[in-house]
Structure 1
Amino acid sequence: MLELKPEKPDDWWEVEALFDLCFAPGREALSSYRLREGIAPVPGLSLVARDESGILAGAIRFWPVRVGGAATLLLGPVAVHPTHQGEGLGGVLIRDALDAARAEGWQRVMLVGDAPYYVRFGFTPLNDIQMPPPTNPDRVLGQALNDGAWDGVTGEVTRWWQDEH
């Protein structure tokens, strides 16, 4: 049995090790990491899943960004330890985290990922959004957490400044 909890500061390096295990070397060179650099994940929305022994099984993080000036959540990374892959844990992390984001009043979320995987969670292509290069525009996906939240939101994805609230 796995338990989901908000990520705590003490979880940071263990979660980073999981991301290193699950993603290719050089993951931090991606454009999404430049948007995250020096910015803290959104408190309470980044989750960890642990088994009954306390061993980390999965994690998901959200980061604040701006899209055409509009406050937006950037989902990612989300990772599941290889010993728990195929159990649906990634889906549980995504759904629970999106529910928490909606409850916290966030309007929209975006990510850079594989459309065939993320469409099952309600993500669709964001054709009028420009991620910093190099990003394949076909991998830029979004979801409105409230009806119409993406209406009229277009333009560049830019950094959120640490001192913003």
Structure 2
Amino acid sequence: MTARTMTAVRKTTAALLADAAPFAIRAERAPDVAARENLLDACFGEDRHARTCQRLRDGRAPAEGLAFSAVRRGKLVGTVRLWHVSAGGVPALVLGPLAVDASCRSLGVGAALMNHALAAAQARGHNAVILRGDPAYYERFGFSVARTSELVLPGPFERERLLAVELREGALMGARGMIAATGAKTRRPRTAKTRAMTAVAA
């Protein structure tokens, strides 16, 4: 077999493998930002900045090493980030938003992002993750209301949708009070559009 033939075989094999793999999860990169924002707008609407949990993200950077993108054939098709918070004085993370392109929701992208994010958070020594979401979906990842009954968000929320999972047993034992952002502040100034959206009552 000639070198040219071997190269052609390698390229063909690589192409077949890439096509067979439905998506890949990797750390979020700077070029992902625009695609991520477009995906979030498509999934949650442009008024998403007025949601209660956005108060925990406004002006803050995601937790180090805990922002992930799902990519399929060079296109961003999923995103998830985790953020530092104080859960009534107890250090924790808030997860969200989790979003998946409508064309890829049958591929298991959301579940893969969740499992990847939780494993990464645990590997980095974090003890608990909180989110606001559908219990029927998130209970498969260990989330429940068991440790959130005494916690509140900075805005209106449905008590049954405030969920948490402990990555270390007992991490949220006795946690009570307001969930507040504690992550590093971003240096990038907010746009007029973002400031206007943030001013809307959540």
Q: So what's the TM-score if we normalise by structure 1? A: 0.93
Find the partner of 1:35 among 43, 47, 56. Answer: 56
Which residues of structure 2 form unaligned runs of 5+?
1-20, 186-202
Letter matched to residue 128 of structure 1: E
Letter matched to residue 91 of structure 1: A
Find the partner of 2:108 among 80, 85, 88. Answer: 88
Measure the CA separation in 1 of the matches of 2:183 and 2:167. Answer: 22
Find the partner of 1:13 among 17, 20, 34. Answer: 34
Please list, as runs of the form range in 1=range in 2, the aligned pairs for 1:112-127 lying within 5 A after superposition.
112-125=132-145, 126-127=148-149
Indicate the structure (1 or 2) with the bigger Cα radius of gyration. Answer: 2
Deviations 1:58-117 (A, max 9, x none): 111111111112211100001110110122110010011000000000000000001111
User: 1:156 matched to which residue of 2?
Assistant: 178
Determine if the alignment matches structure 1 residue 105 to structure 2 residue 105. no
Letter matched to residue 10 of structure 1: P
Letter matched to residue 144 of structure 1: E
Say how many residue pairs are matched: 162
Letter matched to residue 105 of structure 1: G
Percentage of identical aligned residues: 37
Residue 9 of structure 1 and its aligned partner are, at CA, apart by 2.3
The structure richer in strand per residue is 1
Greater mean deviation of Cα atoms: 65-74 or 92-101: 65-74
Measure the CA separation in 2 of the matches of 1:13 and 1:74. Answer: 22
Measure the CA separation in 1 of the matches of 2:31 and 2:178. Answer: 33
The structure richer in helix per residue is 2
Q: So what's the TM-score if we normalise by structure 2? A: 0.77
Determine if the alignment matches structure 1 residue 74 to structure 2 residue 94. yes
User: 2:18 matched to which residue of 1?
Assistant: none
Determine if the alignment matches structure 1 residue 131 to structure 2 residue 146. no
Measure the CA separation in 1 of the matches of 2:32 and 2:85. Answer: 23
